[in-house]
Amino acid sequence: MSKKTGVDIQGTNVWHPFDSTKVLVHGKRMEAIVNEQYLPPVVLNLDVSGECQYHCPHCHHRRKQVRNAKLEDLPLKLARTLPYFLQNWEEKGERVKACCIVGSQGDALLYEHLPMLLKELFFSGIETGLVSNGYGYDDMLLEYAAFYSKFIGFSMDAGTSKGYKAVKNCPEDAWTKVLNNIEKLTSIIHNNRLRNDVGWKILVLPQTYKEIYASCRLARETGCRYVQIRPADLPEEQRELINIPCVEEQIEQAIQDFEEPGKFEIVGIRHKFTPDFKRVLPKYCYLTPLTVTVTSDGKVYPCVDRRCDNVTLLANCKTGGWQALKEAWGSSHHLRIVNNALNCYGQGPQCRIRCSNYGYDKYFANYFVQDNMDRNLI
C-alpha cells in the first residue's frame, strides 16, 4: 500500500500472484469479450461449504442478503463430475485453467469430499487455489493440499492470539491450531521439495491494524511464501479508527526486516482502494466472463462479488448438471445479465460493492477498449 491510489507497497520482486497485470496473459479471451463472445472462463470459483466454525463480523459473505440463510454443501455428484467437465469444456482452443475453492458463508475445509476433489482436479490438469481459515485441517487434508493445490491461502488478519479472537469470534484453540497447521503444511512442502505458494492473508481491521508487523514476522516463522495485505471493505465509521500511516510504516518496515526475494515476500495491495481505504468502484464491469462462480447449492453467478443475488443467477447445476452452465455461458441470457443487471443498461454498475475484478478491468479498458497503448505497435 502507498499513499498514492493505485500503487501497492512491495519489495524488489514484482512477479507475484497478486499483481493484476497477469490478466494480460489471457488476451485471446479479452479480444473475444470486446465482441461479446465469451470463451470458457479462466477460473471457476467454487463454494463448497455453507458452514463455518468462525463468526467474523467483517465477513464479506455474511453481510449479503443471504447472511441469515444456511446454504447446503456442494452435492457429491457435482464434485465428482466437475474435474471431467472442466477438463473438456473447450472452445477455440481455450479451456478452463483453474478452480478456486472457497466457501459460501462457510469454510472450504468443512467439506467432507474436499480431498477427493483436490486430487481429481489435479490429475485433470486444473490448477487449484484453496483459501480457508485453516482451522479444519487434519493430517490427511494437509497432505492433499500440499501435493494437489497450486496456492493455499490462510485468512489470518491478526498477529496475536488476542487480536485473532477479536476479529474472528473463533474457538478458543483456533490461533494455536491454525499456526500449527501452517507449520505442518510448509514442512510437508519443504520436505517433499514441492512449490511453496502458501499465502498468509491480512485484512486491515480496526482491532488489529497495529499487529501487521507482528503478523508478517509470524508468517515468515511458519514458512509461508507470501503475505498479502489489503484494506477491508468497511463502513466509514470503522475505517476512521485505522491509522493509515501506521499501517504503511509497518508494511515498509516488515519488507525491510523480513523479505527475502524468491523465498518470502510481502505485498500491500492498494489498487482497489483510495488513499483513505475507501473502495474504488469500477465505471464498467467488463471482465466478469473471465471467471464464473458456483455456490455450494449448485447455482451459477457470472459475478464473484454478487454471488447469491438472484438478479444475476445464470444457471442451476444442481438441477441441470454442469451442462446447464455450459449451455448458459455466452447465451443471450448471459449477455443480458452482464449488460443489464451488472452494468445497468450501459450506465455501469450500481451495486457499490468492492470489485474483485477492478484491477483487471482497468487494464482491459486501456489496452483493449480504448487502445491507449497502441498495443499492436510493439
Helix then strand count (H, E) for the chain reads 12, 13
d(C-alpha 18, C-alpha 6), whole Å = 13
Question: What share of the chain has pLDDT > 90, as a percent?
Answer: 70
Homologous superfamily of domain range 9-15+27-369: Aldolase class I (3.20.20.70)
How is residue 338 written as a grid cell?
A: 452482464
Q: What is the pLDDT of residue 225?
A: 96
Contact 103, 48 (CB under 8 A): yes
d(C-alpha 124, C-alpha 76), whole Å = 18
Contact 159, 217 (CB under 8 A): yes
For residues 163-198, b (16+ Cβ closer than 10 Å) or e, as one string? bbbbbbebeeebbebbbebbebbbebbeeeeeebbb
For the chain, residues with pLDDT lower than 50 are 2-7, 65-68
Q: What is the pLDDT of residue 3?
A: 45
d(C-alpha 49, C-alpha 184), whole Å = 24
> Which one, of 341, 270, 286, lies nearest residue 310 by Cα?
341
Contact 68, 105 (CB under 8 A): no
d(C-alpha 101, C-alpha 279), whole Å = 25
Contact 178, 133 (CB under 8 A): yes
Q: What is the pLDDT of residue 13?
A: 64
